[in-house]
């Protein structure tokens, strides 16, 4: 039996249906475009009505009568004024159109690039936060990164992480410094190099918070800081690291900055300071800053082992006992400092035994600033003479009771040549310049909670006072005012802090270190003999 062909309408029905759907979709789009203002006004009226119902429901019952009376009075006023109903209708339509407008949706989650970065970071942490026998691991290859990161993350405009909170398993050895260092290294590498990251470990809740630290300002120059007697500003740190602020002049504006205060004197637990850094790291800048602050109410004695004349501007100033660059002058000056420390101890002991206050001549603080004493130690060993550091034992051991403060600055490659007395009694430590975590830990006694960067400005580093936390530090700019490369603003700032009796002519800047040595040394060496007699 021959098969009959299908009717024409059935064979071409699919094409007609598709064409009809396209016509209907086009008509709907055109109608939406034409009726878009009406749709917007209708949506706005619905939103305004909903807000009115919520406002009416939130109004207490005893106040609803007053609200109704106020609304009726407004309606009556609008109805009586000329063109009032028309203006009211236009106002309501305008408010409805504004309320019902289409708003750009706010992005609540990461985009594709940020999601890929978070997933890659999650996969990189799997070997550190996973165990083979964990039945329900938080970290596993191909796992869900949202379980450990959640929504505690933030990105900058370039798509790099600025904040991330990681939830890690309880069996992770977060008390092991090496385990922590490995995780911090992975986060640092995957989040972007060239920035300084801070890691806060919360062992109780098994959470790690990583934040990107803003660079400390380098525009604060040498100035007279508002501090109490016995307080010295080493530099400035993050605002949330200390609880104190001081007013400073930052360029042409004044503001409050967070200082790192080092307390010296008889009540200090860290009476002496050790500064370590590479060449050009800013250790000499910090020494100059300390000398200018110490001259406000004390006497300063400077021993420069490098012989570069960085402290020549201090020679001849009131309160500067000596600025020594040679081995003979350094030995004579430090020997006088040891005798002076003993004299102060004896005078204070006799005064206490007699029931009298301490004499005035031992109340004035004495600062011993030694820049690169290892160089003088090598010269002394070659000449068969005594190492100048050996003369620091008495000031280091008894300096707190005698009002003597010792500050030693040297480079990393010469720290092994420091004597045991210097390493033991300098409990306040500062590390400046680019340094690895191992170098920072060797000086401060513990690793910093941040990632040191390879490129830092002079005067940037870390500090730790005794057993306190490790703080970031930026030393105030204190250049040599006699250096031709110093700007006029910085030169004037340093000169304004110098006490009186300045050199009369500029030519003394060349021989100032050698000429000042014999004059001051003769006076200082002769003083202890008179005191002991």
Annotated binding-site residue numbers for ATP? 277-284
Contact between 339 and 328 (Cβ < 8 Å): no
**Residue showing tokens 């500029």:** 506
- Among candidate residues 374, 364, 195, 206, the one with its CA nearest the CA of residue 296: 364
Instruction: Specify binding-site residues.
Output: 277-284
For residues 270 and 29, give the distance between their C-alpha atoms in angstroms, rounded to a whole number: 79
In our burial notation (b when 16+ CB lie closer than 10 A, e otherwise), range 193-231 reads eebbbbbebeeeebbbebbbeeebebebbbbebebeebb
Q: What gap in Å lies between CA 388 and CA 327, rounded to an integer?
A: 8
- What helix, strand, coil percent values describe the chain, rounded to 5? 45, 20, 35
Interatomic CA distance for residues 165 and 209, integer angstroms: 4
Instruction: Report angle CA 67, 68, 74 to the nearest 5 degrees.
Output: 90
Q: Tell me how far apart the alpha carbons of residues 72 and 75 are, in angstroms, rounded to a whole number.
A: 5
CA–CA separation, 114 and 29 (whole Å):
35
d(CA 423, CA 426): 6
Contacts of residue 320, defined as CB under 8 A and 6 or more positions apart, other chains included, come to 295, 299, 300, 301, 302, 314
Q: CA 288 to CA 266: how far, in whole Å?
A: 23
Ramachandran category for residue 142: left, alpha or beta (phi over 0 → left; psi -120 to 50 → alpha): left
């Amino acid at each position: 039996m021959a098969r009959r062909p299908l009717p024409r309408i059935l064979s071409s029905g699919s094409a007609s249906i598709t064409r009809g759907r396209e016509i209907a979709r086009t008509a709907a789009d055109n109608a939406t475009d034409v009726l878009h203002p009406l749709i917007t006004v209708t949506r706005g009226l619905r939103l305004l009505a909903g807000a009115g119902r919520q406002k009416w429901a939130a109004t207490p019952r005893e106040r609803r009568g007053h609200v109704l009376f106020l609304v009726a009075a407004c309606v009556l006023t609008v109805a009586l004024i000329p063109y009032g109903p028309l203006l009211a209708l236009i106002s309501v339509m305008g408010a409805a159109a504004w309320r019902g407008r289409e708003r750009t949706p706010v992005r609540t989650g990461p985009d594709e690039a940020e999601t890929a970065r978070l997933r890659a970071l999650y996969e990189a942490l799997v070997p550190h936060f996973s165990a083979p026998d964990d039945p329900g691991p938080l970290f596993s290859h191909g796992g869900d990164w949202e379980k450990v990161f959640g929504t505690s993350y933030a990105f900058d405009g370039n798509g790099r992480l600025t904040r991330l909170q990681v939830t890690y398993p309880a069996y992770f050895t977060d008390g092991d410094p090496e385990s922590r260092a490995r995780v911090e290294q992975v986060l640092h590498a995957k989040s972007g190099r060239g920035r300084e990251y801070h890691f806060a470990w919360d062992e109780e809740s098994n959470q790690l918070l990583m934040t990107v630290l803003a660079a400390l300002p380098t525009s604060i120059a040498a100035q007279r800081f508002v501090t109490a007697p016995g307080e010295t500003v080493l530099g400035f740190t993050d605002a949330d690291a200390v609880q104190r602020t001081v007013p400073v002049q930052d360029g042409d504006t004044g503001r409050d900055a967070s200082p790192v205060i080092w307390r010296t004197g008889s009540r200090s637990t860290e009476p002496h300071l050790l500064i370590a850094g590479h060449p050009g790291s800013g250790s000499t800048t910090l020494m100059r800053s300390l000398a200018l602050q110490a001259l406000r109410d004390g006497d300063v004695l400077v021993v420069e082992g490098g012989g570069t004349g960085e402290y020549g501007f201090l020679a001849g100033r009131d309160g500067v006992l000596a600025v020594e660059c040679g081995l003979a002058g350094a030995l004579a000056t430090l020997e006088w400092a040891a005798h002076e420390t003993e004299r102060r101890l004896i005078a204070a002991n006799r005064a206490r035994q007699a029931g009298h206050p301490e004499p005035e001549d031992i109340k004035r603080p004495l600062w011993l600033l030694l820049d690169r004493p290892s160089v003088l130690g090598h010269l002394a060993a070659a000449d068969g003479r005594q190492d100048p550091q050996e003369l620091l034992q008495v000031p280091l051991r008894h300096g707190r009771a005698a009002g003597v403060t010792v500050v030693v600055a040297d480079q990393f490659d010469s720290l092994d040549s420091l004597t045991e007395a210097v390493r033991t009694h300098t409990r306040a430590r500062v590390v400046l310049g680019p340094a690895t975590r191992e170098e920072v830990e060797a000086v401060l006694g513990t690793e910093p909670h941040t990632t040191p960067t390879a490129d830092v400005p002079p005067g940037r580093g870390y500090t730790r006072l005794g057993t306190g936390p490790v703080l970031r530090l930026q030393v105030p700019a204190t250049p040599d005012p006699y250096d031709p490369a110093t700007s006029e603003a910085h030169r004037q700032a340093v000169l304004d802090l110098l006490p009186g009796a300045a050199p009369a002519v500029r030519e003394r800047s060349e021989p100032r270190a050698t000429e000042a040595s014999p004059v001051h040394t003769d006076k200082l060496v002769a003083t202890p003999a008179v005191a002991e007699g």
